[in-house]
A and B are shown apart, each in its own frame.
Chain A
Amino acid sequence: MSRVAQNYGNRTMKHIIATIGAAAVAMTLVMPGAKAAEEGGEEHTVHYPLQKPVEQDWSFAGPFGKYDKGQLQRGFKVYANVCAACHSLKRVAFRDFHELGYSDEEVDAIAAGYEVQDGPNADGEMFTRPALPTDYFPGPYENTEQAKLANNGAVPPDFSLIAKARGVERGFPLFVFDVFTQYAEGGPDYIYSLLTGYGEEPPAHIEVPDGLYYNPHFVSGSALAMAQPLYGEDVEFDDGTPATIEQEARDVAAFLMWAAEPHLTERKEMGFRVMVFLVLFSVFLYLAKKQVWSRVEH
Chain B
Amino acid sequence: MSIHEAHGTYTPTSGIGKWIDARMPLPRMMYDSFVAYPVPRNLNYAYTFGGILSLMLVAQILTGVVLAMHYVASTGMAFTSVESIMRDVNHGWLLRYMHANGASFFFVAVYLHMFRGMYYGSYKAPRELLWILGCIIYLLMMATGFMGYVLPWGQMSFWGATVITGFFTAFPLIGEWVQELLLGGYAVGDPTLNRFFSLHYLLPFMIAGVVVLHVWALHVTGQTNPTGIEVKSKTDTVAFTPYATIKDAFAMMVFFAVFAYFIFYLPNFLGHPDNYIEADPLVTPAHIVPEWYFLPFYAMLRAITFNIGPIDSKLGGVLVMFGSIALLFIMPWLDTSKVRSAVYRPWYKLFFWIFAADAIFLGWLGAKPAEGIYTMLAQIATLYYFAFFLIILPVLGLIETPRRLPNSITEAVLARSKKSGAQQVTSGAAASPETRG
Could you tell me which A residues sit within 8 Å of B by CB distance?
A: 1, 6, 9-10, 12-13, 17, 24, 27-28, 31-32, 35, 45, 63, 91, 96, 157, 160-161, 164-167, 172, 178-179, 182, 184, 186-187, 220, 260, 262-263, 267-268, 270-272, 274-275, 278-279, 281-282, 285-286, 288-289, 292-293, 296-298
Interchain CA distance A180-B182 in the complex, whole Å: 41
Q: Assess whether B276 is in contact with A31, with CB atoms less than 8 Å apart.
A: no
Interchain CA distance A123-B419 in the complex, whole Å: 93
A16 smallest CB distance to B (angstroms): 9
Known: A172-B364, A279-B257. A292 touches B83 (CB 8 A): no
Segment of B108-116, B123-131, B244-252 in the binding face: B244-252
- The contact string, 1 if C-beta is below 8 Å from chain A, for chain B 220-258, is 000000000000000000100011001101100110110
Q: Assess whether A297 is in contact with B373, with CB atoms less than 8 Å apart.
A: no
B142, CB-defined interface residue at 8 Å: no
Contact of A278 among B94, B253, B274, B373 (CB under 8 A): B253
Question: Which B400-436 residues have C-beta < 8 A from chain A?
Answer: 400-401, 413-414, 417, 433-434
Known: A165-B273, A263-B93. A184 touches B265 (CB 8 A): yes
Known: A35-B372, A274-B260. A298 touches B246 (CB 8 A): no
B376 surroundings in chain A (CB, below 8 A)? 31, 35
Interchain CA distance A267-B262 in the complex, whole Å: 11
Known: A182-B265, A271-B265. A297 touches B243 (CB 8 A): no
**What count of chain B residues pass the 8 Å CB interface test?**
52
Interchain CA distance A48-B249 in the complex, whole Å: 47
A-side interface mostly:
helix
Contact of B264 among A10, A167, A268, A285 (CB under 8 A): A268
Q: Assess whether A164 is in contact with B276, with CB atoms less than 8 Å apart.
A: yes
B266, CB-defined interface residue at 8 Å: yes
Interchain CA distance A283-B148 in the complex, whole Å: 35
A263 surroundings in chain B (CB, below 8 A)? 86-87, 93
Q: Assess whether A91 is in contact with B87, with CB atoms less than 8 Å apart.
A: yes
- The contact string, 1 if C-beta is below 8 Å from chain A, for chain B 60-87, is 0000000000000000000010010011
A232 smallest CB distance to B (angstroms): 29
Question: Which B344-402 residues have C-beta < 8 A from chain A?
Answer: 347, 350, 364, 369, 371-373, 376-377, 380, 399-401
Contact of A161 among B83, B94, B246, B417 (CB under 8 A): B83
Interchain CA distance A160-B257 in the complex, whole Å: 31
Q: Assess whether A178 is in contact with B400, with CB atoms less than 8 Å apart.
A: no
Q: Assess whether A282 is in contact with B266, with CB atoms less than 8 Å apart.
A: no
Interchain CA distance A286-B45 in the complex, whole Å: 12
Give the residue name and chain of the A residue nearest to B87 (CB): A262
B229 smallest CB distance to A (angstroms): 15
B41, CB-defined interface residue at 8 Å: yes
Q: Assess whether B253 is in contact with A267, with CB atoms less than 8 Å apart.
A: no
Interchain CA distance A293-B401 in the complex, whole Å: 35
